[in-house]
Amino acid sequence: MNHWAFVIAAYALVGAATAALILWSYLSMRGAEADADAAKRRR
Amino acid sequence: MHGYANPARFLKLARPATGWLLVSGIMLVLGGFYGGLFITPPDYLQGNTVRILYIHVPAAWLAMAGWASIAAASISQLVWRHPLAAVAGRAIAPAGALFAALCLATGSIWGRPAWGTWWEWDGRLTSMLILLFLYLGYIALASAERERGGDGRMAALFGLVGAVNLPIIHYSVLWWRTLHQGQSISITQGSSIAPELLWPLPLTMLGFTAIFAAVVLMRMRTELARQKLEARLRRSAAE
C-alpha cells in the first residue's frame, strides 16, 4: 500500500480547509468593517 | 478581562494582533509542513503515514481547546455579563467545528493504512464525533438566538454543559481500550515519540493555534462591525 497517497490527501484537505477558513473570515471582516465605515461617513 | 469589555479598547488591541497572529501562524505551519513531509524519517512501524501526526494532533487540540474557550466565554457571560463573551463564543464555534471535522477526517485517512479501517465506533472517535455535533448544535442555537434578538444565554448554557464531553474525550483512551492508541505526549511524563520525529509537531501546534486565534479575532471584528452598523441604522430610522 502506497502511504504517500494518504499523507498527501490529509495534508491537501487540511491546507485547503484552513485556507478557505482564513479567506472567508478575512473577506467577511473586510466587508463588514467597510460597511460600518461607509455608514459612519454618511452621517 | 473586564479591561477589554469595552469593544473600542478590544479593537485597538485586536487590529494589530490579527495580522501578527496570521502571518506568524502561516509561517510556523509551513515550516512544520516542510519538516514533517521532507525532513523527518518514516516511522519503523507506520512508515510514512506517521507524517499525518503533524496535522491530526493540532486539529484535535484546537477542537478541544475551542470548546474549552466557549465554556470559559459562557462562564464569563453568565456570571460577569462580559459584553464580548457571547461574541467570542459565536466567533470560536465555526473554527472549532472545522478543526473537529478535520481531526475526524485526518484520523480516518490515517486509520485506513494503520488499522485497516476508515472508521470504528471506538471511545475516542465517537466522543470526538459527539464534539462535532455539539459544535453544530451550538452554532444553530447561537444563530437562532441572535436572529430573535436574544442575549445568547441559552447558547452559553449549552456551551457550559457541552464541556462535560472534554474529559470524556481526554480519558476515553484509558477508559475504553479499543482501537485508538493511548496518550503519546504528557505534560508530566514527557513524550514517547522519538525526538527526530517529534520536532515539527510544536511548530504546527503553535502555528495552527495562532491561525485559530487570528480567525477568532477576525470573526469577532466582523460581528462588532455588524453590530455597530445595525445600531447606526436603528438610530437613523428613529430620527
Tens digit of pLDDT for each residue in B162-198?
A: 999 999 999 888 888 778 877 777 777 777 788 889 9
| Interstrand relation of B190-191 and B185-186 (parallel, antiparallel or unpaired) | antiparallel
Q: What is the pTM of this model?
A: 0.93
> What is the structure's pLDDT at A35?
92
Contact at CB, A33 and B225, closer than 8 angstroms:
yes
CA distance B66 to B135: 10
Confidence of residue B232 (pLDDT cuts 50, 70, 90): confident
Say yes or no: ipTM exceeds 0.85.
Answer: yes
> What is the structure's pLDDT at B25?
98
- Taking each helix axis from N to C terminus, what angle separates B123-147 and B165-175, rounded to the nearest 10 degrees? 170
* Nearest residue in chain A measured CA to CA from B239: A43
Q: Count the residues in chain A.
A: 43
Contact at CB, A25 and B219, closer than 8 angstroms:
yes
The closest of A24, A18, A35 to B204, measured between CA atoms, is: A18
> What is the structure's pLDDT at B3?
59
Question: Per-residue pLDDT averaged across B132-159, rounded?
Answer: 93
Q: Which residue has cell 438566538?
A: B145
| Percent of all residues in chain B with a pLDDT value above 90, rounded to a whole number | 71
Question: Which residues lie across from B191 on neighbouring strands?
Answer: B185
Contacts with A, B 94-133, CB within 8 Å: 94-95, 98, 101-102, 105-106, 109-110, 112-113
Contact at CB, A10 and B208, closer than 8 angstroms:
no
Suggest the residue from B18, B216, B221, B223 to mutate for an interface test with chain A (most A CBs closer than 10 A): B221
Question: Per-residue pLDDT averaged across B23-43, rounded?
Answer: 96
